[in-house]
Amino acid sequence: MDHPVSICASGCICAAGNDTSTCFETMLNGAVKPSFAADFYFDQPMRSPVFAVPKEWLYKGIHTPALTTTMQLLFQAVDEALTQSEITPQKLSGLKVGACIGSSTGASLNFLSFYKQWREDKKPYLESIESYLNCNPATALAERYDLNGPVQTVTNACSSGTDAIGIGASWIRQDLCDLVIAGGADALSDISYTGFSRLMITSPERCRPFDSCRLGLNLGEGAAVLILASDKAIRELGLNSIAQVMGYGTCCDAYHLTAPHPEGPMLKQAINEALDRSGISADQIGFVNVHGTGTENNDRIESQVISEIFPGTPFTGIKGFTGHTLGAAGAIEAVMTIISLQNGLLMPTSGFRKTAVGSTISPITKCTKITAEYALSDSLAFGGNNSALVFKKESA
């Protein structure tokens, strides 16, 4: 059983809002419509709208070297978390602070214009390459905030944000860090959009996770982080713990490059590992925040596993508000899981209307009061990776 790790702050930005509270309020009572974003390339036979973050919400701080959109999203979320916890640069200077950030694409796709010009025998400027080399998410974060602990960027496809939080919590438990900034960030890109379109799993309209008429996923962008703290840091800095990371589990199907195993054995194992490390049973979980992409394979397998492990437990999916934010998805869902625990309110699954054929369970469809002490958030990723986190509400 793992020692619980305190969470003292969160930050979040996505299509639902530019901070944690706005995102939560939108998911409880509002709606977000995907659109064909300006300045985005949509040359595909079937066009799919995306959940883009308005440019005016992006980070307005230092832009040298030129920041990628992924980094602007990440810094916006980190600044919110630091402000929320009242952690100043002076306080950070005396502590060992780590950075563990998940990203599926990160800065790796921002040199497309350079490549196009090079293929056309032109002489492109090197700014985009310089930006790429200087915008590794975790490294750039450590340099921006002068962090002196371990630094790791996790690139494990769509479970990256979940994995980064699990790894960050392990650094606290192993006494490698006093604080860890852990989460995920990913921006929209022409390349990832084209790749998902070629797989024929994108929807021409708003995604509808678990619905009988689902047509696929919409891509989105965003970032979210948690500030994880050791017991020592909580005491010495006078921090408030808002929740705890109880346990983390991860297992790989080794079945297919993009499709999950049809019976979900490693998703079950990841969830059970997270429960075991938390020292609790499945019936203590008050709700599940699911991956819920709106694709047939994901929804069918995930609902099958959830119904087996958590019969009768309410569950919800938030991608109808955010789109699939790839490496940021697990982190955004982790933040919303914690805020739901804090507030005793569970957001609906946007876009759901009717249970799919063959499914015996349905997600929450309206804002619902809950009295949960524990909650679980899971992620499924290309490459067959499955990860899960258990969170506990901080006692009053």
Any idea which residues carry the catalytic annotation? 158, 291, 324
Task: Spell out the residues 6+ positions from residue 246 whose beta carbon is closer than 8 angstroms to its own.
Answer: 2, 4, 274, 277, 278, 279, 280, 374, 390, 391, 392
Return d(Cα 107, Cα 54) in angstroms, integer: 19
**Residue holding tokens 């969170």?**
391
Cα 110 to chain centroid, rounded: 21
Q: Positive or negative CA dihedral for 203, 205, 211, 212?
A: negative
CA atoms within 13 A on the CB side of 393: 20
Among 323, 371, 321, smallest CA distance to 348 is for 321
Return d(Cα 355, Cα 377) in angstroms, integer: 21
CA atoms within 13 A on the CB side of 194: 9
Return d(Cα 35, Cα 10) in angstroms, integer: 27
Let me know if 1 is exposed, middle or buried by CB neighbors in 10 A (0-12, 13-18, 19+): exposed
